[in-house]
Chain A
Amino acid sequence: MDNKNKEVIDAIEAPIYLKYNFTAGLAPARFLSQLKQGVLTGQRCPKCDNVYVPPRGSCPACGVATEEEVVLGDKATVQSFTIVSIPIPGNPIQPPYIVANLVPDGANISFIHLMSECVNEEVRIGQRVTAIWKPKEEWDFAMDNIRYFKPLDEPDVPAELIGHLSVNGTEN
C-alpha cells in the first residue's frame, strides 16, 4: 500500500486574463500626439493659471477644464528624487538608478521620470537637468520617448523657486 506522505494542496493558481482596449482621454491624446512629434506640452488652468504636465483635461485644484496648450522646453529642475535598488521588468536600466520628480521649465507641477548619466550620490534637490530623447525613429505616443534626464551645468534652483520657473528658465 502506497503510504508516502502526500503533499497537501491548499492553493491553486487561477490566472486571470482580461483584454482591454485602452483609450487615452482627449487631453492626454493631444499631449501624446505632440510627444510623438518630439514636443513636450502642458495645459494651463484658466482659473489659477498653473500649467499641468502631463495634462489630464482638468485642473484638479479648481475642478475646471483645461484647454490652453503650453509648449515646454527640455529643461527641468529636480523637485525630489530617490535612488532605487529594485529593477524594472523589461527595462535595461540597472539598479541603483534615480527616479526623480522633475518640474519642466514653464510648468507648475512635477512628473516622475528617470535620471541617468549622473553620479547618484551627487543628485540633489534643485539640480538642473535636460531631457535626452530616444532617436526620432523610435518615437511613439509615449512619455518614454524621453529616455531619461541628465544633469545640466547650470546653478541649482533654490527650493522655494522650484515649480515657479517660466519656459525659458527664469523666475516667474
Chain B
Amino acid sequence: MNIDICIVAFSQSACVAQAGAANEVELIMPQLEAVYSQVGISNAQDVDFVCSGSCDYLQGAAFAFVAGVDALGAVPPIQESHVEMDAAWALYEAVLKIRMGHAESALVYGFSKSSPGELPVVLSQQLDPYYLAPQWIDSISLAALQARLMLDKGIIKASDMAAVVAASRRCAMDNDKAQLAGQFSISDLLEEPEYVSPLRKADCSPISDGASAMIICTRSKAEEWQVPFVRLSGIDHRIETHNLGMRDLTTSHSTRLVAEALSIHNSSLDIAELYAPFSHQQIILEQALELQAETEINPSGGVLAGNLMMASGLSRVGEVFNRIVAGEAIRGLAHATSGPCLQHNLLAILESS
C-alpha cells in the first residue's frame, strides 16, 4: 500500500526519577493535550485510531493500560488498541491500520511508571520461565555479560564506553526533558567505581517516569490540518532467538536484518536516535547500522540521559521528528529495542516533506 505516512506532532514529559503521586491518567494527559494542540484538535475523537504501549509489570497492576483509556475521552467509543511493548510498536500497529485504509490519522502514546518497582529485577521475569526466570538474572547483569564479551574480544575498551556516556551527558545539556546531563570527561567517568562489573552506574540508563505521545496521519490529512509534517518513509522490526547462548551478543543481528530490509546501509542520515540502554550497546548498534561519520548520534542525549521504559522507543522517533521539523536535519533514523541484550529491534526512517 503506497500511502505516505506522516508524523505531525510529538510531545514528551520530562524524565524524572520519581513521578510520585501521579497515576497513569495524570502522566498521559498533559502529553495528549500537547499533541492535540500542536495539530489543532481537541481530543481522541478527532483521530481515527488510538494505540498505546505500556507494561503492567512496571507498576505492578494488571490492566494498568485500561486506566490510560480514561485519559482519552472515549465517549462515543473509539477504535483503540494496545501492545504490551514499547510504544514504538504501537506506532507500528498504527501504521498498518492507516496503510490498510481503516484510518487516516492515529494517536500513539506510551507511558512509564517504573519507579514503584525494581525495574531490572522485574525485567528478569521476561526470561524463560522454566530455566532462567527462577534464577532472577536481572537486566543489568545480562548487559554486563554482554559488555564483558566485547571487552574481552577487544571490540571496545572501557574508555569507549565512557566516551558514549560523556557524549550523552553533554548533548543532554541541550535537552530540557533529560534527567542526567553535564560536562564529564572520560577520565572523570572512568574514576567511578564499577557497579555491576564491568558496567559503571553511568553506563546504565537511569530509571525514569514519564510519558510521550505522537500523532501520525496520511499526507492529505496533514495538508487538511495545515501543519508541518515529516514523512515516516520506512518502519520495520525483527526479533532474535531468546537463547542468549545462541546469539552473538557482540553484534546485533536483528538490527542488521532490519537495516538491510530498509536499505539503510550507505544511505545518507543526518541523525540517528538509538535506544541503547547501556553504553556498550550504542556501539553495537552503530556497527550493525554501519553509521557514517556525518551521522550525529543521539543529539537528545539518548536514553542514557533519561529512559522512559515503554515510551523511549517512541521518543526516539519523536526526537528525530523534532529536529527535522526544526530544519536541523533532512533525513534521520530512530531505533527501538526490547528484550534482554537487544533481542528485538525496530527501525524507522524519517525524511523531511
Contact with A along B106-130 (1 / 0, CB 8 A): 0000000001111001100100011
Distance, CA A58 to CA B69, complexed state (A): 11
Evaluate whether A63 and B118 lie within 8 angstroms (CB atoms) in the complex, with A24-B23, A25-B23 already known. Answer: no
B193 at the interface (CB under 8 A from A): no
Q: B74–A63 contact, CB under 8 A?
A: yes
Main secondary structure of the interface of A (DSSP, over half): loop
Cβ of A123 under 8 Å from chain B? no
Contacts of A24 in B (CB 8 A): 21, 23
CA of A41 to CA of B117, assembled, Å: 30
Fill in one digit per residue for A7-47: 1 if any B CB lies within 8 Å of its CB, else 0: 00000101010111111111111000000000000000000
The answer to the question of A64 belonging to the interface, with a C-beta cut-off of 8 Å to chain B, is yes
CB distance from B86 to the nearest CB of A (A): 20
Tell me which residues across on chain A come within 8 A of B133, comparing CB atoms.
14, 16
User: Is B116 within 8 A of A22, CB to CB?
Assistant: yes
Q: How far is B13's CA from A136's CA once the two chains are assembled, in angstroms?
A: 41
By a CB distance below 8 angstroms, the chain A residues around B115 are: 21
- Are the CB atoms of A56 and B25 closer together than 8 Å? yes
Do A56 and B74 touch (CB < 8 A)? no
Task: Point out the residues of chain A lying under 8 angstroms from B67, CB to CB.
Answer: 56
Q: B116 near A20 (CB under 8 angstroms)?
A: yes
Q: Which residues of A contact B25 (CB under 8 A)?
A: 25, 56-58
A12 to B60, CA, bound (A): 24
Distance to closest chain A CB from B90 (angstroms): 18
Candidates B71, B125, B130; contact of A63 at CB < 8 Å = B71
**Shortest CB distance A82–B (Å):** 21
Interface membership of A62, Cβ < 8 A = yes
Which of A12, A23, A27 is in CB contact (< 8 Å) with B116? A23
For A23, the chain B residues whose CB sits under 8 A away are: 19-22, 116
> What's the interface size class on B, roughly?
20 to 34
- In the complex, whether A65 has a CB less than 8 A from a CB of chain B is yes
Instruction: Report how far A59 CA is from B32 CA in the complex, Å.
Output: 14
Asked whether A60 lies within 8 Å of B23 as measured between CB atoms, the reply is: no
Q: Which of A129-159 contact B (CB under 8 A)?
A: none
Complex CA gap A58/B74 in Å reads 12
Q: Shortest beta-carbon distance, A35 to chain B, in Å?
A: 15
Do A18 and B121 touch across chains, with their CB atoms under 8 A apart?
yes
Question: Which residues of the partner chain A approach B57 to less than 8 Å between Cβ atoms?
Answer: 18
Is A63 in contact with B129, judged by CB distance below 8 angstroms? Answer: no
Residue among A20, A29, A64 with most chain B CB within 10 A? A20
Tell me, yes or no, whether A61 is within 8 Å of chain B by CB: yes
Report the bound CA distance from A23 to B130 in whole Å.
32
Contact A58 B70 (CB under 8 A): yes
Given A14-B133, A60-B70, A60-B75, answer yes or no on A19-B23 (Cβ-Cβ < 8 Å): no
Contact in complex: A60, B125 (CB < 8 Å): no
A63 touches B26 (CB 8 A): no
Quick one: closest B residue to A48, CB to CB? B75
Docked-complex contact B118 and A25, CB < 8 angstroms: no
Q: Which residue of A lies closest to B73 (CB)?
A: A63
> Within 8 Å of chain A (Cβ to Cβ): is B182?
no
Bound together, the chains give a CA A27 to CA B72 distance in angstroms of 17
Q: Which residues of B contact A56 (CB under 8 A)?
A: 23, 25, 67, 70
B9 CB, nearest partner CB in chain A, Å: 16
Query: Within the assembled complex, what's the spacing in Å between the Cα atoms of A65 and B26?
Result: 8
| Residues in A neighbouring B118, C-beta threshold 8 A | 18-19
The answer to whether B116 and A25 have CB atoms under 8 Å apart is no
Does B43 count as interface, using CB distance less than 8 angstroms? yes
A19-B117 contact, Cβ under 8 Å, with A26-B21, A57-B23, A60-B69: yes
B75 A61 Cβ-Cβ under 8 A: yes
- B239, CB-defined interface residue at 8 Å: no
B22 close to A26 (CB less than 8 A): yes
Scoring B residues 43 to 69 as 1 if CB is less than 8 Å from chain A, else 0, what string do you get? 110000000000001011000000101
Chain B nearest CB: distance from A54 CB in Å?
A: 11
- Report whether A20 and B23 are in contact in the complex, using a CB–CB cutoff of 8 Å: no
> Does B29 belong to the interface (CB within 8 Å)?
yes
Chain A residues with Cβ under 8 A from B32's Cβ?
63
Is the CB–CB distance between B122 and A18 below 8 Å? yes
| Chain B: minimal CB distance from A86 (Å) | 19
Known: A21-B116, A61-B73. 4 other contacts (CB 8 A): A23-B21, A26-B26, A58-B71, A60-B74
User: Which B residues are within 8 Å of any A CB, using their own CB?
Assistant: 19-26, 29, 32, 43-44, 57, 59-60, 67, 69-75, 115-118, 121-122, 125, 129-130, 133-134
| 19 contacts across the A-B interface (CB closer than 8 A) | A14-B129, A18-B60, A18-B125, A23-B116, A25-B23, A25-B25, A29-B21, A56-B70, A57-B26, A57-B29, A58-B70, A59-B73, A60-B69, A60-B75, A62-B43, A62-B75, A63-B73, A63-B74, A64-B73
